[in-house]
Structure 1
Amino acid sequence: MKKKILLPTDFSRNAWNAISYAVELYKNEACDFYVLNAFNATGYALESMMVPEPGEKLYEEAREKSENGLGKIMERLTFRDESPNHQFFMISQFNGLLDAIKDIVDKQDIEMIIMGTKGTTDARDVIFGSNTVMVMEKSRNCPVLAIPEDATYKTLNEIVFPTDYKMNFKRRELQTLLDVAKITKAEVRVLYASDGDPLDEEQQSNKNLLDEYFGGLTHTYHALYNIEPQSAVRCFVESRDSDMIAFFNRKHSFFGSIFSRPMVKSLGRYAKVPVLALHDLRS
């Protein structure tokens, strides 16, 4: 069964890098890739509160720019992607980015969103741009893999999965992580930032569940003691040169909310490590 992957683009270098990463990650898998550009007729808000309609100059100029950009991406993909199992669909939509993504995710039954961490207008010192943060936070029914600007695809050897063992995971919530680890043969490192106390009964039960879910994969358990979770992840990833971080974007969790300023700042230090945001499908 084909995988369905959504690739949002604003035609930036980072967006193209994310597309390239996605194609390489799934090079041996049958995939339909949907390359999406959400365009707006910039400038109209200054002149009128009326949204431009098809046929009007501002709308048509923006649409043409969007379609031309997608045409160039299709041309580049035709030259570089040699997998007979890959199909590409270009989508130009007059919409806000998040609404366009939600629309395509729903209509095409998308399994994962892969996008760059920043776009054309983000400052050079910002690793996770506002659009990426918004999509990772608001696209609650679809996992998001964020590819940093400096990340180049290499064989995934190790995926770090931080947890406090307080969440009763469901297999379907971990499915994207399981799939990525399986197709890349990556080993999963489960990381726990411990305060020194032994796991309680609930935590041990949840750890046993993880052991069951990761049963078909090579996986190991690690604990760092008396260190903040964000620092634990950073130290672990840097010391081992890990290839990806996967975690649950869930409020009141191991990280609090990933989108708190300290967490974004901390994640921003992993300038070359893709980050997979999974979601608690029960919230």
Structure 2
Amino acid sequence: MDKRILIPTDFSKNALNAARYAIDLYAKVHCEFYFLNIFRLENYTTNTLILPEPGSAEYETAKVASEEGFVKFLDILKLHQDNPRHRYHTISTVNFLSEAMEQTINNKDIDLVVMGTQGATGAKGVIFGSNTVNAMEKIRQCPVMAIPEKVRFMEPKEIVFPTNFLTGYKRKLLNYMLEIAKMHSSSIRVVYVTKSETISDEQEQNKQLLQDILEYVDHSFHMLSEKKVAEGLTSFVESRDSDMIAFINKKHFLFNSIFSKPLVKEIGYDAKIPILALNAP
């Protein structure tokens, strides 16, 4: 069965880099890639209630510019890698990004969203732009993977999975991480950052469930005694030169406590590895 991957793009270097990473990550898999570009209308503002209709001069001019951007974008990607397992599709729309992404995910039965951490107008010093943060917080139908601008693809040999063992694990939700691990013979390192050296009976039970789910991939469990999750996770990743972070993103829970903007600033300006948000309802 084909993997269906959505990649929003504004034709920036960061978006191009994210696309290249996704293409290489799934090089051995039959994939349908859907590239989504939101084109802008110069005279339209958020105060305008009515969008120009398709067929109007302004609309058609902006759409043509988007389509021309895709021609250049795809030419660069095909020079990078022309994989017979992959097929590319382009979508140009004037919709808001969040709504366009939701529609595409639903209409195309998307399995994964891959996006750069910054767009063409990204502010220096900020790793995760608002579009990436919003996608990780709001998209619940599928995982979202964020690719930092300076990342160049290397097979992920080690995936770090931070958790607190306070939630029951669903095999279906973790399958996205397991697929990547199996494709690239990756090891999964489960990291629990805690002030206490003991865990409750409930946590022990959840840990055992997780161990059962990870049975067929190389994995290990690590307990770090740190005051802050950000510091413990960062030191672990840097000391081991890990290749990816994957985490369960329960709505209004883990994202805010582990991958909020303040944490991203703590990790540092030079983020070096992709982050996979396994979005749970």
**Aligned residue in 2 for 1:196:** 196
Partners in 2 of 1:146 and 1:244 — Cα distance? 10
Look up the match of 2:53.
53
Amino acid at match of 2:128: F
CA distance in structure 2 between the aligned counterparts of 1:85 and 1:110, rounded to whole angstroms = 17
| 1:229 pairs with 2:229 | yes
> 1:215 and 2:215 equivalent?
yes
Per-residue deviation, residues 6-60 of structure 1 (Å, max 9, x unmatched): 1110010000000000010011111111111122313322895431111222212
Count of aligned residue pairs for this structure pair: 281
Greater Cα shift, 48-57 or 188-197: 48-57
Distance 1:263 1:44, change over 3 A: same
Cα contact 1:8–1:35 (8 A) shared by 2? yes
| Aligned AA (1:236) | F
CA shift in 2, pair 1:278/1:266, >3 Å = farther
Q: Distance in 2 between matches of 1:257 and 1:194?
A: 13
In structure 2, what is the equivalent of residue 13 of structure 1?
Answer: 13
Alignment partner, residue 157 of structure 1? 157
Describe the shift of the 1:212–1:270 C-alpha distance in structure 2 as closer, same or farther (beyond 3 A): farther
- In the alignment, the residues of structure 2 paired with residue 173 and residue 92 of structure 1 have an alpha-carbon distance, to the nearest angstrom, of 30
Could you tell me which residue of structure 2 aligns to residue 23 of structure 1?
23
Letter in 1 for 2:265: K
C-alpha distance in 1, partners of 2:47/2:4?
40
Structure 2 residue identity aligned to 1:14: N
* 1:162–1:192 CA contact under 8 A, matched in 2: yes
Q: CA deviation at 1:198?
A: 1.4
The reply to whether residue 100 of structure 1 matches residue 108 of structure 2 is no
Distance 1:107 1:48 in 2: 27
The separation in 2 between residues aligned to 1:142 and 1:51, in whole angstroms, is 29
Q: Is the 8 A contact 2:115 2:146 kept in 1?
A: yes
Give the letter aligned to residue 118 of structure 1.
Q
Q: CA deviation at 1:275?
A: 0.5
Distance 1:31 1:46 in 2: 36
Partner of 1:132: 132
Q: In structure 2, the residue corresponding to 1:265 is in which secondary structure?
A: helix
CA contact (8 A) 2:159 2:189 kept: yes
In structure 1, how many angstroms separate the alpha carbons of the residues matched to 2:46 and 2:190? 51
Shift of 1:91: 1.2
Asked if 1 retains the 8 angstrom alpha-carbon contact of 2:128 and 2:261, the reply is no
* CA-to-aligned-CA distance 1:146-171 (integer Å, 9 cap, x gap): 00000000121100000010010111
Report the 3-state secondary structure (helix = DSSP H, G, I; strand = E; otherwise coil) of the residue aligned with 1:185.
coil
| 1:248 shift after superposition | 1.7
1:66 paired residue number: 66
- Higher mean alpha-carbon deviation, 33-42 vs 15-24, is at 33-42
Change (3 A) 1:130 1:216: same
TM score, norm. by length of structure 1: 0.93
Correspondence for 2:111: 111
Where 1:216 maps in the other structure, the secondary structure is coil
> Contact conserved, 1:255 with 1:263, CA < 8 A, in 2?
no
Runs (5+) with no aligned partner, structure 1: none
Note the C-alpha offset of 1:251. 4.9
Structure 2 CA distance for partners of 1:261 and 1:81, relative to 1, 3 Å: closer
What is the correspondence of 1:26-45 to structure 2 with a 5 Å cutoff? Answer: 26-45=26-45
Give the Cα separation in 2 of the matches to 1:39 and 1:158.
38
Other structure's SS at 2:113 match: strand
Is there any run of 5+ residues in structure 2 with no aligned partner, and where?
A: none
Assess, with a 3 A threshold, how the Cα gap between structure 1 residues 237 and 259 changes in structure 2: closer, same or farther.
closer
Question: How far has the Cα of 1:83 moved from its partner?
Answer: 1.8
User: Aligned equivalents of 1:64 and 1:243: distance in 2?
Assistant: 39
Distance change (3 Å), C-alpha of 1:42 and 1:132? farther
In 1, Cα distance between equivalents of 2:102 and 2:133: 15
Percent identity of equivalent pairs: 44
Aligned partner of 1:145 in structure 2 is 145
How far, CA to CA, are the matches of 1:20 and 1:155 in structure 2? 13
Residues 225-250 of structure 1: per-residue CA shift (max 9 Å, x gap) = 14311111111011111100111222
Do the aligned residues in 1 keep the contact of 2:246 with 2:278 (CA within 8 Å)?
yes
